[in-house]
Amino acid sequence: MNSRTVTCPQYISKIAYFSLLWIFQCMYVSSYYNYYVLTTILFGLTCTSLWYWGDNQNNTVRYIDIIFATTTLGIKSYIAITDFAIIYKYVWFISLSVSVLSYWMNYIFVEYTIFAKYNNLYINYDRLSHTQYTYHSMTEYSPDIIRMYYISTYIHMFFIHFLPTVSFSLCVIMTNGL
């Protein structure tokens, strides 16, 4: 494990398995409307996400998962630009913007909470610094850090897993009809 990465405890991050349902529904809608490249990338994202949630200490898998997630959002945005009715283009890009903003805010929330909690870490207000972070075992986490990880996981699941998949699927269905 890279000692500079803040990692959610495994038993908390496994809650994200529930969000596979949303990815599967997006795969179904994408396949139904003949977006086979997107369906394939979503399948790859599902595999890398399962792989990462099974071992969230592995940064290589994390980066592969991030690449698949970013590629998925790029393909969805391309489809939105080329195929969606104008109103649904706005819906998709507003949804995407909310997801990106919430991802960034959630990341800052987690990093700030971790850095503020442990005395051997410091906060550089220009940029959160990872240079002195050391990994802490679960026995060292306080209840408020555990609570923060639960909150962060639920925020991540809603804004990163649910919102983009469901809003994209609804935009596809509304643009193309049933």
pLDDT in tens, 32-51: 999 999 999 999 999 998 88
Sign for the CA dihedral angle at 99, 2, 41, 78 comes to: positive
What is the pLDDT, as a whole number, of residue 175?
96
- Residue 4 is assigned to a structural domain of this protein: no
Question: Are the C-beta atoms of 173 and 29 separated by less than 8 Å?
Answer: yes
| Domain enclosing residue 58, as ranges | 10-176
What's the structural domain count of the chain? 1
Nearest C-alpha neighbor of 118 from the set 140, 151, 148: 140
- What would you report as the CA-atom Rg of the chain, rounded to the nearest whole angstrom? 18
Q: What is the pTM of this model?
A: 0.81
- Residue 125 is assigned to a structural domain of this protein: yes
- Residue 147 is assigned to a structural domain of this protein: yes
- Residue 15 is assigned to a structural domain of this protein: yes
- Residue 21 is assigned to a structural domain of this protein: yes
Instruction: Report how far residue 128's alpha carbon sits from residue 135's, in angstroms, rounded to the nearest whole number.
Output: 16
- Residue 112 is assigned to a structural domain of this protein: yes
For residue 128, what is the enclosing H or E element? none
Instruction: Report how far residue 131's alpha carbon sits from residue 161's, in angstroms, rounded to the nearest whole number.
Output: 30
Q: How confident is the model at residue 4 (pLDDT cuts 50, 70, 90)?
A: very low
Residues 6+ apart with CB under 8 A from 113: 144, 145, 148
- Average pLDDT on 142-149 reads 81
Residue 104, phi-psi category: left (phi > 0), alpha (psi -120 to 50), beta (remainder):
alpha
- Residue 116 is assigned to a structural domain of this protein: yes
- Residue 143 is assigned to a structural domain of this protein: yes
